[in-house]
């Protein structure tokens, strides 16, 4: 009897061990890359790791900008069940690190010399207390226009260089019976648009003061009021059905020629790429009018959590794959973003991607590279949330003047601090 018990215990033990071993080969990744372009980009990573023998498990939580994904992540971490890694923005990885939840990739980072190739602006968000807690995946920027070339030609327009020219172009589209602006009426998209409007209205120094330093005088200023006025004007060119629209559906309006232009981060280019559209021929990608020379950026990072020792190898494999020069090129070509390393050639990128890389380098050297407040790179999450809320209320008429908007914004940011 005793012998039998020992034998079955051994079998049970073995079964448990092999299940465990199977677990160790698994990479579960929480992310919000669910649009066509995003899924195609993520596939580059899945394929790379699957070839190496890792088992990929998607934990996808739809919702551009990632707010729903971050709610899901919080619940998983609170339940003591963190994924191998999670897509994150800005201060999120640092916040989890401060709470003692993050793992440590410093050994891999040292071995692979990450500190020599990752721009300092990104290291600020991936290193906590001297330890690498997140893997930089890419650099996106938000101050772009995505213009349908056929529609632009049809209405006889040209690329706008200033806000006034932009408004004149939107008027031209309207007069021609085309939807001028493809807008997704969700708080994060409206705030992403407003980042560009603030930069264009006030210039680089003003953007930094208001949106990164959260300087109260700047936030209360006439320039900020003017920015809200400009936002109201621009939003008035959207079609009546914009409320709640997903960002990729707005991009699809431009791709199909149903609308002239979308103002969005360069993840929109991932949609053009997935639809096999070519820059210069099918669409144009100038910077948001009046923001040439500055880059308002965000960067996707894979935050890695403190996990049991047997799950660490998966994190290291993910890190090594993600940081490889090959991946940084092939992934970002599809995603619409640019590499998070400075030593990746631009050869494989289209003209928008090449421009994105050159702009980033120039802005970084010239001190005009700024974090996007809407995307969590201007201030910690609570402040970004307050900002998105105020912009959303303004766009949807719950805040009725730009004076009320700046007053509400100053108060909301103050309370969120
Ligand atoms: C992320 C992008 C993503 C976009 C829309 C942004 O916050 O940085 O990677 O494509 O949201 O989902």
If you average pLDDT over residues 366-391, what whole number do you get? 97
Residue closest by Cα to atom 1 of ligand 1: 65
Q: Which atom of ligand 1 is nearest to the CA of 35?
A: 12
The tokens describing 215, both together, are: 């300087």
* Nearest-CA residue for atom 2 of ligand 1: 267
The residue to mutate among 45, 300, 372, having the most atoms of ligand 1 within 8 angstroms of its beta carbon, is 300
Q: What's the 168 CA to ligand 1 centre distance in angstroms?
A: 30
CA distances from 151 to 234, 281, 416 (A): 18, 11, 43
pLDDT at 20 over 80: no
pLDDT in tens, 218-253: 999 999 999 999 999 999 999 999 999 999 999 999
Share of the chain above pLDDT 90, in %: 94
Helix (H) or strand (E) holding 108: helix 106-112
Q: Which atom of ligand 1 is nearest to the CA of 376?
A: 7
Bigger pLDDT: 352 vs 3 = 352
For the stretch 87-113, pLDDT in tens is 999 999 999 999 999 999 999 999 999
Ligand 1 atom at minimum distance from 270 CA? 10
Q: Check pLDDT > 70 for residue 19.
A: no
Average pLDDT on 298-308 reads 97
Q: Is-contact 124 250, C-beta < 8 A?
A: no
Q: Is-contact 334 41, C-beta < 8 A?
A: yes
| Confidence tier at 23 by pLDDT (50, 70, 90) | low
Centroid of ligand 1 to alpha carbon of 64 (angstroms): 6
Which residues line the pocket of ligand 1, CB cutoff 6 A?
A: 32, 38, 64-66, 89, 140, 247, 267, 298, 300, 375
78, with CB counted inside 10 A (0-12, 13-18, 19+), is exposed
pLDDT at 412 over 70: yes
What local confidence, expressed as pLDDT, does residue 138 receive?
98
Measured from the Cα of 299, ligand 1's closest atom is 8
Query: How far apart, in whole angstroms, are the C-alpha atoms of residue 365 and residue 95?
Result: 28
pLDDT at 24: 85
Comparing CA positions, the residue from 129, 77, 103, 88 lying closest to residue 306 is 103
């Amino acid at each position: 009897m005793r012998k039998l018990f020992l034998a079955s215990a051994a079998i049970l033990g073995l079964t448990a061990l092999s299940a465990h071993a199977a677990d160790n080969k698994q990479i579960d990744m929480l992310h919000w890359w669910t649009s066509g372009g995003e899924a195609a980009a993520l596939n580059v990573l899945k394929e790379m790791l699957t070839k190496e023998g890792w088992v990929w498990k998607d934990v996808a939580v739809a919702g551009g900008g990632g707010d729903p994904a971050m709610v899901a992540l919080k619940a998983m971490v609170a339940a003591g069940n963190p994924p191998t890694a999670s897509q994150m923005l800005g201060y999120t990885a640092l916040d989890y690190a401060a709470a003692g939840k993050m793992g440590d990739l410093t050994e891999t980072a040292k071995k692979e010399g990450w500190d020599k190739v990752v721009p300092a602006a990104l290291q600020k968000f991936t290193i906590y207390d001297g330890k690498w807690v997140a893997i930089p995946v890419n650099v996106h920027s938000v101050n772009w226009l995505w213009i349908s070339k056929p529609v632009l030609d049809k209405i006889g327009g040209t690329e706008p260089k200033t806000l006034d020219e932009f408004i004149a172009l939107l008027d031209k589209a309207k007069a021609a019976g085309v939807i001028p602006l493809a807008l997704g009426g969700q708080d994060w998209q409206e705030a992403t648009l407003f980042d560009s409007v603030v930069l264009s209205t006030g210039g680089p120094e003003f953007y930094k003061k208001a949106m990164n330093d959260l300087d109260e005088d700047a936030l209360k200023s006439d320039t900020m009021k003017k920015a809200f006025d400009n936002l109201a004007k621009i939003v008035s060119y959207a079609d009546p059905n914009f409320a709640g629209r997903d960002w990729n559906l707005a991009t699809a309006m431009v791709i199909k020629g149903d609308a002239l232009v979308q103002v969005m981060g360069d993840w929109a280019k991932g949609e053009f790429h997935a639809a096999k559209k070519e820059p210069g021929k099918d669409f144009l990608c100038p910077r948001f009018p009046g923001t040439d020379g500055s880059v308002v950026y965000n960067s996707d990072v894979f935050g890695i959590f403190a996990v049991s020792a047997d799950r660490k190898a998966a994190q290291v494999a993910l890190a090594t794959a993600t940081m490889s020069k090959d991946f940084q090129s092939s992934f970002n070509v599809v995603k619409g973003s640019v590499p998070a390393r400075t030593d990746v050639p631009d050869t494989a990128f289209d003209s928008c991607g090449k421009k994105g890389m050159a702009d980033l380098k120039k802005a970084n050297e010239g001190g005009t590279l700024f974090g996007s407040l809407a995307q969590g790179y201007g201030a910690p999450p609570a402040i970004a949330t307050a900002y998105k809320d105020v912009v959303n209320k303004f766009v949807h008429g719950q805040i009725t003047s730009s004076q009320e908007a700046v007053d509400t914004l100053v108060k909301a940011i103050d309370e969120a601090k």
